[in-house]
Amino acid sequence: MPLRNLRLPADLRVAARLIPLAFQYPDNEAWSVQSDEEEELVDILKRTERLWPLIRPIRSVSPSLRNMLRGLIWEEDDRPVGMGYFYQFGPKDIWYIMALAVLPAYRGRGIGRKLACATLDSIREHDGRVALLDVIDGNVPAYNLYEQLGFEHFTGDLLFDYNQDKSPPELPLPKGYEVSMSDFLDWRAEYELARRITPAHILKYRPIEKATYRRPQFLRPFIPVIQNTLGMHEGKTVIRASIDGQIIALGEHIARTRPGGVNYINLQLDPAHPELALYLVHKQIRILQQSGPERRIKIRFPVWQGMLSDAAVAAGCVKRLEYHRMGVML
């Protein structure tokens, strides 16, 4: 049988070899894993293997952490040629397929469809009710396959790159707002903002529940060790209305603390407050430029927040990709 379950931690090395090759698109270079992304991915997977003696006991006491990484490997010619990786996305019945790919030389043989079907079957076996995934705008074969399997395109994300040595200028915070910094474990701000601003049509597949955002407090002592080993630091910028403390915007940044790789920004903004868009983008870029001006910054936000797209362009960012978020009821 060419299909087998992911074996951890041994298959972390398989993933480090397979993912950069499987996510190559000779006819669409912008879709492919870039060299700095590959460098970071390989480094993180190798360091995750080193952390396994710590991760293993944590997984044993937390069902949600046990389901943070599951997957399938497809083998042909005595080697892995395709994979599907998926994880529990908050509530136990919602799962996200974060990678489903086949090496370019093995495409067109039906392996992708078989992997997709087997992945959905495995999610069902783990009591999954909803499966989510992202597909790049323009990847018609993948999009059509997922539609045939019952997936519905219901929202999406935009991905911009900031690849300049110079930071954008520091902007004053518009009047009527307050800004504060928070850490990785502070989930309430993100939950409260998402609950208030998420469009109704998204809630069918992506209900806003505390379980999606809450992070186990028992992880707090381990976070510094994990982040230091993986070579990353995470932080959040929270913007509130001065008059009532309502959360208006959230910027999450993930900075590499080791050489190479990419820095990341995730943004959310209440559409009723577009005047904050440029400030939010500038501030997050400036934070990451201080930690590593030589690194590319990837900025991601929901496609329905068009004011952030305009602000990203004004700040000197370039649009790289659009992702279609698709979901299916199992």
Q: Quick one: 210 and 283 in the same domain?
A: yes
pLDDT computed for residue 266 by the predictor: 97
pTM above 0.85, yes or no: yes
Which range (67-81, 120-134, 298-312) has the least confidence?
67-81
Which range (61-65, 67-71, 174-178) has the least confidence?
61-65
Average confidence score pLDDT of the chain: 92
Q: Quick one: 168 and 124 in the same domain?
A: no
Q: Quick one: 170 and 114 in the same domain?
A: no
Q: Cβ distance 98 to 86 under 8 Å?
A: yes
Tokens 């080193």 — which residue? Answer: 50
pLDDT computed for residue 320 by the predictor: 95
d(C-alpha 18, C-alpha 100), whole Å: 11
pLDDT computed for residue 91 by the predictor: 65
Last residue of a domain, one of 74, 104, 128: 128
Tokens 């186990």 — which residue? Answer: 216
Q: Quick one: 245 and 124 in the same domain?
A: no
Phi and psi at 316, nearest 5°, equal: 100, 15
Sign of dihedral through CA atoms 140, 143, 148, 149?
Answer: positive
d(C-alpha 192, C-alpha 195), whole Å: 5
Say if residue 326's pLDDT is above 70: yes
Residue 8 lies in a domain: yes
Q: Quick one: 230 and 308 in the same domain?
A: yes
Q: Quick one: 217 and 261 in the same domain?
A: yes
Last residue of a domain, one of 75, 108, 128: 128
Q: What does the pLDDT look like over 231-242, one tens digit per residue?
A: 898 999 999 999
Residue 145 lies in a domain: no
pLDDT computed for residue 1 by the predictor: 64
Last residue of a domain, one of 128, 143, 173: 128
d(C-alpha 181, C-alpha 152), whole Å: 37
Other beta carbons within 10 angstroms of residue 19's beta carbon come to 20
Q: Quick one: 167 and 303 in the same domain?
A: yes
pLDDT computed for residue 63 by the predictor: 67
Q: Quick one: 305 and 196 in the same domain?
A: yes
Residue 149 lies in a domain: no
Mean pLDDT throughout 305-326?
96
Tokens 């990785």 — which residue? Answer: 184
pLDDT computed for residue 58 by the predictor: 76
Q: Quick one: 117 and 213 in the same domain?
A: no
d(C-alpha 309, C-alpha 314), whole Å: 9
Residue 60 lies in a domain: yes
Strand order in 247-256's β-sheet? 3-5, 70-76, 79-88, 94-102, 130-136, 318-329, 152-162, 297-302, 263-269, 247-256, 232-241, 177-182
Return the SS3 of 242.
Answer: coil
Give the chain's length: 330
Q: Quick one: 46 and 122 in the same domain?
A: yes
Residue type, 83: M
Q: Quick one: 165 and 311 in the same domain?
A: yes
Residue 291 lies in a domain: yes
**175: domain CATH number?**
3.40.630.30
* Secondary structure element (H or E) that encloses residue 66, with its range: helix 63-66
- Identify the residue with better confidence: 183 or 318: 318
Q: What does the pLDDT look like over 93-117, one tens digit per residue?
A: 999 999 998 999 998 899 999 999 9
d(C-alpha 145, C-alpha 148), whole Å: 5
Phi and psi at 156, nearest 5°, equal: 180, 175
Residue 143 lies in a domain: no
Residue 121 lies in a domain: yes
Instruction: Tell me how many domains the chain contains.
Output: 2
Q: What does the pLDDT look like over 140-188, one tens digit per residue?
A: 999 999 999 999 999 999 999 999 988 999 999 999 999 999 887 788 9
Residue 63 lies in a domain: yes
Say if residue 66's pLDDT is above 80: no
Q: Quick one: 97 and 211 in the same domain?
A: no
Q: What does the pLDDT look like over 193-239, one tens digit per residue?
A: 999 999 999 999 999 998 888 877 777 777 888 888 888 989 999 99
Q: What does the pLDDT look like over 73-95, one tens digit per residue?
A: 999 988 999 999 999 887 679 99
Mean pLDDT throughout 41-53?
90
pLDDT computed for residue 183 by the predictor: 82
Residue 73 domain boundaries: 3-128
Please report the DSSP string for 164-210 in residue order.
-SSPPPP-PPPTTEEEEEE-TT--HHHHHHHHHHS-GGGTTTS---H
Q: What does the pLDDT look like over 253-291, one tens digit per residue?
A: 999 998 889 999 999 999 999 999 999 999 999 999 987
Other beta carbons within 10 angstroms of residue 57's beta carbon come to 9
